[in-house]
């Protein structure tokens, strides 16, 4: 019987095929060939073993986008260890919680990018050994560890090994550790290669943290013989410059990044001739801004709907971005090949096309469960089906349109109000740059519909005008009963609108 592919085996094959060609590059800094990166990964795996770590032990890393950050992750997986990334923009409280909850046996700290936080985390966990990227008194220097000749790692990961424990954003409470196996991550990469419409020779810019969603792009690109450029963070200028000057032809973006690029391109002309592919994911995109993006960038956009618990659920491919087809740009696409999706009612029965239900997904890419949370794992998984918590409807052609998160559903006066539908209508108004809608406690209605609106220019649009606009398109039930203006919407560390923070900031009932 042929061995089950693992993340580590696919990466080894990809880097060996790249050979002496460039595999990963830090913009403005270091670059590394496929063979040199493979050797570095093997040295890191050997160093972990020499420190007394064993397969199944947990490694937690805080790092910026840099070559060694990826090599640490790959080295941990090569040695059969559990890898957990800390979000670079996370609070120290949340990061310390993850270190404890994940059962870390080793900390890897990017003390170059995060000198103070690295020291604080090391001091908060004095019993844990630490590796640092620079020379410091609270950890062993990575460069010095790798300078010691190693015998080479002997452990070969198997498919059922836990590879990655990635923590959810924590917008509904304490973050949960989502467990993915070596085989699951290999299958995720395989489906990405087959379904994500990458260019023939991809040159991907990772301008969001590879500790999270962008990290799942690296192996598919390398497997296609491509190259990954790492950027410490996103800005419209740095991203556009990488396209123009570095030959970047593929981007991974969250919707807020697309909006920022569109706003920049509205002010100046830039050369986008290298750009062949934009993958966008991580949160819903506004339909009108997506229509604008199709006009500006052309037919190169590809939407991936997934979540931490299952990177693959549906795709809206390049050819499916058809503004002329009613409702198409509001769709998240059709089921990703290799996965199964159904829309279910509260009893787990499939609903008819056009009816709203919860998205359930099954396939090789879903999580094993939540780390050390058996009750929550059991609630989220039913006979191999993951309950996503997303409400959606499917049309007769299999295109799935997300309506909202179940937890964001507003019940006002006994009727269901889906915030995303109100948000889409508000954003149709030419004076609205962005908006978010939440339900707030109300003594009369149970919950009232409340909107926060970011105007394109101060004073350009008023509350009365916007409420009349919504009432005209959606009727009185969907019309917000309260509205406020803001300069920006609160975002989580993953770039999603933080509705939990919005509710907490405005929690006074209105009579």
CATH number at residue 40: 3.40.50.12780
Q: What is the pLDDT of residue 169?
A: 63
At 143-152, the pLDDT tens digits run 999 887 766 6
3, pLDDT greater than 90 = no
160, pLDDT greater than 50 = yes
Which of 377, 406, 435 is the last residue before a domain boundary?
Answer: 406
How many CB atoms neighbour CB 328 within 10 A?
A: 19
At 92-140, the pLDDT tens digits run 888 999 999 999 999 999 999 999 999 999 999 999 999 999 988 999 9
Locate 423 and state its tokens: 């948000």
Q: What is the pLDDT of residue 96?
A: 94
Residues 6+ apart with CB under 8 A from 382: 348, 360
261, pLDDT greater than 90 = yes
Residues 247 and 341 in one domain: yes
Q: What is the pLDDT of residue 150?
A: 65
170, pLDDT greater than 60 = no
More confident residue, 4 or 236: 236
CA 355 from chain center: how many Å? 28
Residues 194 and 159 in one domain: no
Q: What is the pLDDT of residue 38?
A: 96
Which of 349, 383, 406 is the last residue before a domain boundary?
Answer: 406
Residue 442 inside a domain? The answer is yes
Mean predicted confidence (pLDDT) in 190-217: 94
Q: What is the pLDDT of residue 418?
A: 80
CATH code of the domain containing 478: 3.30.300.30
How many CB atoms neighbour CB 461 within 10 A?
A: 18
Which of 374, 406, 438 is the last residue before a domain boundary?
Answer: 406
Residue 125 inside a domain? The answer is yes
Residues 400 and 294 in one domain: yes
42, pLDDT greater than 70 = yes
Q: What is the pLDDT of residue 203?
A: 98
pLDDT band at 2; cut points 50, 70, 90 = low
Q: What is the DSSP string of 221-282?
A: HHHTT-EEEE-SS--HHHHHHHHHHS---EEEE-HHHHHHHHHHHTTS----TT--EEEE-S
Residues 246 and 393 in one domain: yes
Structurally, the chain folds into a number of domains equal to 3
For tokens 């670059």, what's the residue?
31
Residue 97 inside a domain? The answer is yes
Residue 510 inside a domain? The answer is no
Residue 364 inside a domain? The answer is yes
Cα–Cα distance measured from residue 222 to residue 33, given in angstroms and rounded to the nearest whole number: 11
For tokens 């908006």, what's the residue?
435
Do the beta carbons of residue 119 and residue 138 sit within 8 Å? yes
Burial 242-281 (b: 16+ CB within 10 A, else e): bbeebebbbbbbbbbbbbbbbeebeeeeeebebbbbbbbb
From 101-110, 167-176, 491-500, the region with the lowest mean pLDDT: 167-176
Q: What is the pLDDT of residue 492?
A: 74
Residue 337 inside a domain? The answer is yes
Residue 347 in 3-state DSSP? coil
Residues 82 and 211 in one domain: no
Q: What is the pLDDT of residue 499?
A: 83
pLDDT band at 411; cut points 50, 70, 90 = confident
pLDDT band at 409; cut points 50, 70, 90 = confident
Residue 511 inside a domain? The answer is no
Residues 278 and 325 in one domain: yes
Residue 2 inside a domain? The answer is no
At 378-388, the pLDDT tens digits run 999 999 999 99
From the list 315, 283, 246, the residue with the least C-alpha distance to 423 is: 283
pLDDT band at 154; cut points 50, 70, 90 = confident
Task: Give the mean pLDDT of the chain.
Answer: 91
Q: Which residues pair with 344 in a beta bridge?
A: 350, 358
Residues 27 and 140 in one domain: yes
414, pLDDT greater than 80 = no
Q: What is the pLDDT of residue 343?
A: 97
Residues 393 and 470 in one domain: no
From the list 314, 82, 74, the residue with the least C-alpha distance to 215 is: 74
Q: What is the pLDDT of residue 474?
A: 85
Q: What is the pLDDT of residue 173?
A: 55
Q: What is the pLDDT of residue 53?
A: 94
Residues 77 and 217 in one domain: no
Residues 402 and 438 in one domain: no
From the list 341, 334, 347, 343, the residue with the least C-alpha distance to 361 is: 341
Do the beta carbons of residue 254 and residue 282 sit within 8 Å? yes
At 386-396, the pLDDT tens digits run 999 999 999 99
197, pLDDT greater than 50 = yes
Q: What is the pLDDT of residue 78?
A: 95
Angle between helix axes 7-18 and 182-195 (nearest 10 degrees) is 50
Residue 319 in 3-state DSSP? helix
Dihedral of CA atoms 61, 62, 67, 71 in degrees, nearest 10, equals 0
Question: Which range of residues forms the domain containing residue 490?
Answer: 409-505
Residues 118 and 224 in one domain: no
From 218-227, 309-318, 457-466, the region with the lowest mean pLDDT: 457-466
Do the beta carbons of residue 326 and residue 206 sit within 8 Å? no
Q: What is the DSSP string of 356-409?
A: -EEEEEESTTS-SEETT-HHHHHHHEETTEEEEEEEEEE-TTS-EEEEEEGGG-
Q: What is the pLDDT of residue 172?
A: 45
Residues 6+ apart with CB under 8 A from 20: 33, 34, 35
Locate 39 and state its tokens: 């050797």
494, pLDDT greater than 60 = yes
Residues 387 and 259 in one domain: yes
At 431-458, the pLDDT tens digits run 998 899 998 888 777 788 999 999 988 7
Q: How much is the pTM?
A: 0.84
Do the beta carbons of residue 46 and residue 35 sit within 8 Å? no
Q: What is the pLDDT of residue 496?
A: 74
Q: What is the pLDDT of residue 493?
A: 67
Percent of all residues in the chain with a pLDDT value above 90, rounded to a whole number: 72
């Amino acid at each position: 019987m042929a061995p089950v592919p693992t993340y580590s085996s696919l990466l080894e094959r990809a880097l060996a095929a790249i050979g002496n060609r460039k595999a990963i590059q830090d913009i403005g800094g270091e670059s590394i060939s496929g063979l040199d990166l493979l050797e570095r990964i093997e040295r890191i795996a050997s160093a972990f073993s020499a420190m007394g770590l064993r397969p199944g032990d947990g490694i937690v890393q805080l790092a910026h986008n840099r070559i060694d950050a990826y090599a640490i992750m790959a080295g941990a997986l090569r040695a059969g260890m559990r890898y957990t990334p800390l979000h670079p923009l996370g609070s120290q409280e949340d990061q310390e919680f993850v270190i404890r909850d994940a059962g870390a046996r080793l900390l890897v700290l990017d003390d170059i990018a995060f000198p103070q936080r690295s020291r604080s985390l090391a001091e908060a966990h004095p019993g844990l050994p630490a590796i640092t990227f620079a020379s410091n008194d609270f950890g062993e220097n990575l460069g010095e560890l790798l300078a010691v000749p190693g015998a080479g790692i002997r452990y070969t990961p198997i498919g059922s090994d836990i590879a990655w424990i990635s923590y959810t954003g924590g917008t509904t409470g304490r973050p949960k550790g989502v467990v993915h196996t070596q085989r699951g991550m290999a299958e995720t990469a395989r489906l990405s290669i087959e379904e994500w419409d990458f260019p023939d020779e991809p040159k991907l810019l990772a301008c969001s943290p590879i500790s999270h969603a962008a990290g799942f792009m690296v192996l598919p690109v390398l497997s296609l013989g491509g190259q990954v450029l790492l950027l410490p963070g996103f800005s419209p200028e740095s991203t556009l410059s990488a396209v123009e000057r570095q030959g970047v032809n593929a981007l991974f973006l969250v919707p807020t990044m697309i909006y920022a690029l569109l706003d920049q391109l509205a002010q100046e002309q830039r050369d986008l001739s290298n750009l062949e592919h934009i993958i966008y994911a991580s949160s819903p995109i506004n339909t009108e801004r997506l229509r604008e993006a199709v006009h500006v960038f052309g037919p190169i956009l590809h939407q991936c709907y997934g979540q931490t618990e299952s990177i693959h659920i549906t795709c809206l491919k390049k050819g499916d971005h058809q503004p002329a087809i009613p409702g198409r740009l509001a769709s998240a696409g059709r089921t990703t090949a290799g996965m199964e999706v159904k829309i279910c009612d509260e009893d787990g029965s499939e609903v008819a096309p056009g009816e709203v239900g919860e998205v359930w997904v099954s396939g090789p890419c879903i999580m094993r469960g939540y780390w050390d949370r058996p009750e929550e794992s059991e609630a989220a998984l039913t006979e191999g089906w993951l309950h996503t918590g997303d409400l959606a409807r499917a049309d007769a052609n299999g295109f799935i349109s997300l309506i909202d998160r179940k937890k964001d559903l507003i019940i006002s006066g006994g009727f269901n109000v889906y915030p995303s539908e109100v948000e889409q209508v508000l954003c149709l108004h030419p004076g609205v740059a962005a908006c978010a809608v939440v339900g707030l406690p109300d003594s009369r209605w149970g919950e009232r519909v409340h909107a926060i609106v970011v105007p394109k220019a101060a004073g350009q649009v008023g509350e009365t005008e916007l409420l009349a606009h919504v009432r005209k398109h959606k009727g009185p039930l969907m019309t917000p009963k309260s509205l406020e203006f803001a300069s920006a919407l609160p975002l989580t560390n993953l770039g999603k609108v933080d509705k939990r923070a919005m509710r907490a900031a405005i929690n006074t009932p209105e009579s």
